[in-house]
Chains A and B, each alone.
Chain A
């Protein structure tokens, strides 16, 4: 039965069915609505670089932070069977730490940027380890454990900057947040690709993927098989911490300032959504990082499509909600089963006729 319903829906795509169907629907919808939505042109920006522009680029560029966070979140979800709701707050802390170092010197050189990046990574990893310890050692559900940082994270970011929203301007930051001179592709997109490749390489070269899955499916069984499940859970949170730091630094570089209240606001919900749309089970276990990345782009594409239809930025949420509900209803196991049964009935009618024929002969 399960196989059949998979055949009907999946055509062998399995887990990636829903995100791919979603993206296909969005593409077709936009093609019908306005084919010029997909036009990409080479223009010159204020600094005189030739850059790519167009809705498609905006989508791919805008979803960068989301995609990076979704990769880390997939690991946490798979290993712990729960989600980290503090990524936005943690990104604000990492961004503040980043700006703090940048502001400490007189001028911003390449060296300071690298030191600041590393410092932000370390800070985010420490907070990731804090969450991870609560989850792995104290056995608290991830959502509750990360609720602590969700509550006070943005205030800690505020505290780091002493109540101000400092601005930082430097060509190096522009290169991180916008474009590197001479390369027409936005830098955040390149960073996403690099992070994705690193994830792929880590999965290839180490047994992290297998360990994470086994811990997520059954922590005790994994422990009895000699996998240190506490460490795997902790590690997943620390990896998410690195992703958070990268996303936070991109966010800061994009705007050239840190605003602890608005930096990557509400991104935790979008990230979890990306993981869910990507077909990953939010209860842990098997996972596909690729699905989450596609999920991130689905969300961003939906948002930009709505913007293009002149929906105001505050109203977008309502339409988004409707699409999410439709997607999860289609993906729900009960609906799949019902649909599969219906198809089976149609098929079995034909099958019965042949079986009866066989008995007689």
Chain B
């Protein structure tokens, strides 16, 4: 009996299981779309389009995943992104420097992260309320800076805005016979770098493992000698800084600041993390899953549009349905596993 056990492969952890389910579902969905809808889904550009549109969402979701693994929540990310976009646009239009604007973006994000982290971990106020206030503050400040949409006029930034990475061998031939290159924006590169960095942090670094520990069980983390307060503080600071970066990427995509920028982004980011297998209770999650969560959320929208459901409400309703499916699936899977563990 004992021999048998030692020969058996180690079972998947909760994190791996949920991520695997997400990835399988994404590929099934995408290949089904390729088979039945064809058209744009057969081109690589479709994937790049999704990435171009959602680079900032990916960055924000990475930060949120860290916070959620640590057992917290940050609903201010979308609003901070919007504030960063607006202030950077205004700064650049008043004749600023691009490098200073990057610092400004990071600074705003870090400032929000530091304040949230301090209030939540050292003053022990509920994260939901603190980040809700942060969201109100950021949205309010955005409209105080400017309520009218602002377009970037800065010359140097325009070249950054138009910068694209062309990948000819992934392109396609258009109907009129011209060869169209696949194009990717700079923001996507930043998003991928952030994704890899966060993945390494969560997988291999001591700090990353501490996030899992405090999310899983705060008491035992304390017994293990982890500084729970400081770890939680850092998780919010990272999330804030990533919102700042996401704001800059957002600006590189749209080139304009608007008070309604990134509206609802926080909820999309939470949804993406959940679909990716992160649990709000903490301790379980994976940034690779989060990436596929973003992809699923946006692919489903594209599928709805290209399958001819043109009424504006269908996108959100299918998204809600999708979310419902994933949430129930996770709940069932996890409760069955826990039941089995107890039985053994």
Contact = CB atoms under 8 A, between A and B. Distances in A.
Interface of A: 83, 134, 138-141, 143-145, 147-156, 158-159, 163, 269, 272-273, 276, 282-283, 312, 314-322, 324-325, 328-329, 331-335
B212 to A, nearest CB: 18
B139 interface: yes
Q: Which 4 A/B pairs are nearest by Cβ-Cβ distance?
A: A318-B140, A152-B320, A321-B137, A317-B140
A152 B331 contact: no
Given A159-B311, A328-B130, A334 B137 contact: no
Interface in B57-74: 73
Secondary structure at the A interface, as helix, strand, loop or mixed, is helix
B313 A158 contact: yes
Nearest to B324: A148
B242 interface: no
Given A141-B280, A155-B313, A325-B130, A147 B123 contact: no
27 contacts: A83-B128, A134-B324, A134-B327, A139-B335, A140-B327, A143-B128, A144-B274, A150-B267, A151-B319, A152-B321, A153-B320, A155-B315, A155-B316, A155-B320, A273-B132, A312-B143, A315-B140, A317-B137, A318-B136, A318-B144, A321-B133, A325-B130, A328-B119, A329-B125, A333-B124, A334-B122, A334-B124
Nearest to B334: A139
A106 B270 CA distance: 45
Given A138-B331, A139-B331, A320 B140 contact: yes
Contacts of B335: 139
A317 B141 CA distance: 8
B247 interface: no
Contacts of B259: 314
B271 A141 contact: no
Interface residues of B, number: 46
Contact of A282 (B122, B126, B141): B126
A321 B134 contact: yes
A51 to B, nearest CB: 33
Interface string B154-171: 000000000000000000
Given A134-B327, A145-B327, A321-B136, A151 B130 contact: no
Contact of A152 (B123, B274, B317): B317
Nearest to B124: A334
A244 B163 CA distance: 49
B297 to A, nearest CB: 10
Interface in B101-147: 119, 122-126, 128-130, 132-137, 139-141, 143-144, 147
B75 to A, nearest CB: 9
B140 A148 contact: no
B197 interface: no
Interface-central residue, B73, B281, B315, B324, by most chain A CB under 10 Å: B324
Interface string B313-344: 11111011101100110011001000000000
B285 to A, nearest CB: 13
A133 to B, nearest CB: 10
B137 A322 contact: yes
B312 interface: yes
Contacts of A312: 143, 147
Contacts of A151: 267, 271, 316, 319-320, 323
A273 B313 contact: no
Given A143-B73, A314-B147, A329 B119 contact: yes
A159 B317 contact: yes
A315 B317 CA distance: 31
Contacts of B128: 83, 143, 272, 282
Nearest to B328: A138
A158 B327 CA distance: 24
Given A140-B331, A318-B144, A334-B122, A156 B313 contact: yes
A153 B217 CA distance: 34
B274 A319 contact: no
A319 B198 CA distance: 34
Contacts of B122: 334
A316 B274 CA distance: 32
Interface string B256-291: 000100000001001100100000110000000000
Contacts of B315: 155
A151 B322 CA distance: 11
A328 B280 contact: no
Contacts of A83: 128
A314 to B, nearest CB: 4
